[in-house]
Amino acid sequence: MTAPEDNQHDCLAIKELENILDTCKLDLTPVDEVWSNLYIGNVAIAQNRTALQRLGITHVLNAAHSKQGSIGDQEFYGNSFVYYGIPAEDSSQFDLSLYFKPAADFIHKALKKKDCKVLVHCIMGMSRSATLVLAYLMLHHRLSLRSAIQKVVQKRAVYPNRNFLALLLDLDRNLKRKRRLCPLL
């Protein structure tokens, strides 16, 4: 059970993160490169295989797999792209943290290869996909949640829901605790 002061602290921390997200003055576009060879986009760009090939995308991570309006599976992409689908819901109840590590590992493995580019998308390219990209930056590039958000909002208008921000906050705390105990992590 969480103590009331922890809840209050979390609310303040989430509000602070939302303030950082609010500093973004960019318009929402179909797709943006937010890290070297890592893109966040919406479902329209994800379903346009020609546009993806023009961008040089080789891997597609769909954070809205099997959701209405989100066509996509390995069969849809054929041999042109490596596909990974996560059936996430953009809701206050969905535990997206279950997918932080598998999604981050998928992105990392792809980006380690020469000439590979990854598109992470959901429906709008603002909440689910952004959350998974932030988790990747935290897990594989040792960025704090705050730093990861600051990096991403320089390139794309994103806005993870409060539930996802709370899950990322937990990840941030756990990573800081582990790194204090073992600086090599």
**Annotated active-site residue in 11, 24, 122, 182:** 122
Is residue 149 classed exposed, middle or buried when 0-12, 13-18 and 19+ CB atoms within 10 A define those classes? buried
Q: Are 56 and 113 in contact (CB under 8 A)?
A: no
Stated as kind and residue range, the H or E segment containing 181 is helix 162-181
Query: Is residue 24 among the annotated active site residues?
Result: no
Q: Which of 35, 27, 40 is nearest to 131 (CA)?
A: 40
Q: Which helix (H) or strand (E) holds 63?
A: none
Q: Which residues are catalytic?
A: 122
